[in-house]
């Protein structure tokens, strides 16, 4: 069963976040992930507004979690933590 990696982000340092995005893209692809949405138009109907929204599909929930915990993604995450405020979750598809 597939899984969706859903991130809601406010970027506070564009340059550092760009480094995160480049490395994270590699890590996501290496774990079978593909982007469905990445920073496009959106409408907030409820909750906190975060101007960058990303959805990636993975083959399984386990693949998505393995990506997050991988050394390559953790390398990317070092850039994101200081350059953004983020909410990230993985949701299994039905």
Domains located in the chain, CATH noted: 3-92 (3.30.70.100)
18-75 pLDDT tens trace:
999 999 999 999 999 999 999 899 999 999 999 999 999 999 999 999 999 999 999 9
* Residue 46, pLDDT score: 96
* Residue 49, pLDDT score: 95
**83 neighbors 10 (Cβ within 8 angstroms):** no
| pTM, entire model | 0.92
- Element spanning 80, H or E: helix 71-83
* Residue 19, pLDDT score: 97
């Amino acid at each position: 069963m597939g899984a969706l990696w859903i991130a809601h982000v406010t970027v506070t340092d564009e340059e550092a976040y760009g480094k995160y995005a480049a490395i994270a893209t590699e890590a996501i692809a290496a774990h079978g992930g593909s982007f469905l949405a990445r920073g496009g138009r959106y409408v907030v109907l409820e909750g906190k507004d975060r101007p960058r929204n990303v959805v990636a599909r993975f083959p399984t929930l386990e693949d998505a979690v393995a990506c997050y915990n991988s050394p390559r993604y953790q390398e990317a995450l070092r850039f994101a933590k200081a350059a953004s405020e983020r909410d990230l979750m993985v949701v299994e598809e039905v």
